[in-house]
Amino acid sequence: MDPATERPGTERDSVLAALRERIVAYAASRLSRDAAEDLAQEVLLVIHEKYGNVREPAELLPLSMQILRYKMMAHFRKSARHGDEVPVEDYPLADDGDSPEDYARKKEISVRLAAAVKKLGVECRKLMRLKLEGRTFSEIRTLLGARSINTVYTWDFRCRKHLLELMSGSWEARK
C-alpha cells in the first residue's frame, strides 16, 4: 500500500495496538488478567485524551509505562482501602451434597446397617436406640437397670461386635 493513500491514523493505531499488548503483559505480571486489561484501557484513554500530540513510539512507550505505574499504584491503594472486590459471579457455588459415588456408597452402607440392626436382639436394639438419642452411659445404666456402668460398657462392646459380625466383619461392602 502506498503511504500517501494510507489513512493517517493507521500507523498510530498499529503502534497503539502493540503498545497495548506490552501494557497488558506488564500489568498482568503483577495483577490479574482482568485488572490488567482494565488498566491498559485506562492508560490508552489517558494517552488519547491528554497526549494526542505524542506520535513517536520511542516517546509513547515510556510515557505509557509511567501512566501505567501511576494507575497500578492507585489500584493497589484502592484495593487496600476497599479490600479485593470479587464479583459474586466469580465465586463457585457451594455444593454441600455428596458426590453421586459417595451418596451411593453411604446408601449401601445404610441399607446393610439397617438390615443388620433388625437381626440384633431386643436389648441391643434398645441400647443402640438410647445411644443414638444422645444418652450418656450413666443415663443408659439407669434406664436399663444395670448395677454398674461397666456392665453397660460390656453390653455396648458385645452389641457392636455382634453388629459387625452381622455386617460380614466390615462396615464397607465386600467386593
Q: pLDDT digit string (tens) for 145-160? A: 999 999 999 999 999 9
Which of 165, 167, 170 shows the shortest CA–CA distance to 114? Answer: 167
List C-alpha distances in Å: 161 to 29, 157, 169.
61, 6, 9
Which of 114, 126, 130 shows the shortest CA–CA distance to 163? Answer: 114
The model carries a pTM of 0.42
- The answer to whether the CB of 117 falls within 8 A of the CB of 128 is yes
Q: What length does the chain have?
A: 175
pLDDT, tens digit, 9 for 90 and up, residues 92-115 = 777 777 788 888 988 988 998 899
pLDDT, tens digit, 9 for 90 and up, residues 129-147 = 999 999 999 999 999 999 9
